[in-house]
Amino acid sequence: MNAIAREADALAMVPLLNCLLREASAPAGEPVAGRAVHLLHATGRLLSVRTGHRPGAPELWTGTTWQPMRHSGLIDLAAQEMRAVTGRSNAALPAEMTAGREAVEALLAARAHATPPDSPWLRSEQALVMGHPYHPAPKARSGGGPPSTWLRYAPETYARFPLVLLGVREDAAVDDGDTRALDTLGRAPDGYRLLPVHPWQFDLTRHLPAVRAAFAEGRLVHLGRTPWDARATASVRTVHVPGGPERPGAPGDLFLKFSLEVQITNDVRRIRRHELRHVRRTDPLITAAFRAVDGPAAWLSERGHRTVRGLDETFPVLVRDGLDDHVLPGATAILAAALTEGFDGDPLDRLTDPLPWWSAYLDRVVPPVLDAYARHGIAVECHLQNTLIAVDSDGAPVQAVFRDTEGARAIPATPREGAWQRLVYCLVVNNLTEIANVLAHRFPRSAGSLWPAARREFQRCGKEHGLPEIKALLAAATVPCKANLLSRWIDADGTAPCYVPVPNPLAVHS
């Protein structure tokens, strides 16, 4: 096994190990010499892992000795445990885990020969080679073809590429909200409106009968490709369109979110009609809530969409605000998820004392999220991939910028209990816990001070808003955590995953 293959194996094992340890095991004693033993609930197997920021180097107890494991063996162990837990088989998920590991190897090989962008923000968007740290196959691209067909579009390979431009006949165009920015991307013939399409999606769908019919009937015409490149971002199907000198005369930068007939993590990333309706109902509420927030927090509004009647879910495009008009002058936006993997330009690399940085991060991220919930009944999906943290020239957090209306929930359209559960998972478990873990790993002497500081921030917000949910959260022994391995094993709907309780880091522990 060469170096890239070994690295791919190690990276692919981390998220699967995390899933097993969180969802299906309990510690079997205290860690010793940098390793911890866990007892799998259903099969009773003993699994030893290297401790640290990320678990690694798994070994399975055979009854007489510890046997080192590779990714393939870990897949078998996870499958045995899930079958024992659920009484169900699932051949598709182990195959997806295997494909995910192969994707990581392909990404590493391509990344080694690619040139990273100059922008620290874009480097952070394109840094997630391992991906979601608690998903069994975060880098699988089911339905997208072999890596040779999609590496050119992968954020992890620093991808930039022109968009496909279509013209949609005016009587077949569906516009909702403010879509004027789309008309600045090129020129459509008379009687048509401009429709950008992700080239990967176009490759995957151009031969479908409904698409071929739309071209044959003149509802769609092919106009070529943009003369400028869009940049792949962490979500894969959302791209950044630059402003400035690359698009002379353009009003500014923007993001475009497309459908993609590829399963990434828990869902095929097709934008459904009901999701388009949800965005149009919910985004104005979130935008208004963040405008009313006291402080610099910002929301990247998804202000409109355009699609093709009859191909509504195949070629929709959502227009999202760019960064230029939202990030504070002189500040640099960083994808929060990249802080847990590291990248060239990571502000954490410059820290000598994590507590001031952590306090500033809490002050920028927590209050606006809780304010939007308390005052406006909005629960934003503030997980790490939807959170940008803007830092000043010293690397200190000065602003939080949030994005992605699809996962946001508004009360009373969503029951209050469900909205709060999702908010707690995204904010406490996915966001703050991961950032605190990486700080504790880098600065173990300060680890004990991180969560008391977070608890004080929640107490302050609870006092300000009088939210009974915050009081209950601070008293709870556990918090709900999304169980991605179990959810995928039983084919739970991506919008209704299983949750498991995990220890509440905000609670006072004796």
Could you tell me the domains of the chain?
Answer: 3-109 (3.30.310), 159-321 (no CATH), 332-503 (1.10.510.40)
Burial class (CB in 10 A: 0-12, 13-18, 19+), 459: middle
**Amino acid 493: pLDDT:** 79
Closest CA to 302 of 285, 324, 280: 280
Beta bridge partners of 241: 254
What span, in angstroms and rounded, lies between the C-alpha atoms of 36 and 88? 29
Give the mean pLDDT per block of 10 residues along the chain (510 residues).
94 98 95 95 97 95 96 98 96 97 98 97 98 97 94 98 98 97 95 98 97 98 97 98 84 95 95 96 97 96 98 98 97 98 97 98 98 97 98 98 96 94 97 98 96 98 95 96 96 86 86
**Amino acid 510: pLDDT:** 43
- DSSP H stretches of helix in 311-432: 354-376, 416-424
Q: How many residues does the chain have?
A: 510
pLDDT tens per residue, range 478-494: 999 999 999 999 998 77
Residue 289 and residue 295 in contact, taking contact as beta carbons nearer than 8 Å: no
Q: What is the pTM of this model?
A: 0.96
Q: b or e along 318-353 (b: 16 or more beta carbons within 10 Å of the residue's beta carbon)?
A: bbbbbbeebbeeebbbbbbbbbbbebebbbbeebee
pLDDT tens per residue, range 288-336: 999 999 999 999 999 999 999 999 999 999 999 999 999 999 999 999 9
**Amino acid 496: pLDDT:** 83
Residue 332 and residue 122 in contact, taking contact as beta carbons nearer than 8 Å: no
361 phi and psi, to 5 degrees? Answer: -60, -45
**Amino acid 509: pLDDT:** 64
| Tokens 């590496």, located at residue | 151
**Amino acid 303: pLDDT:** 97
User: Both tokens of residue 28?
Assistant: 């079997």
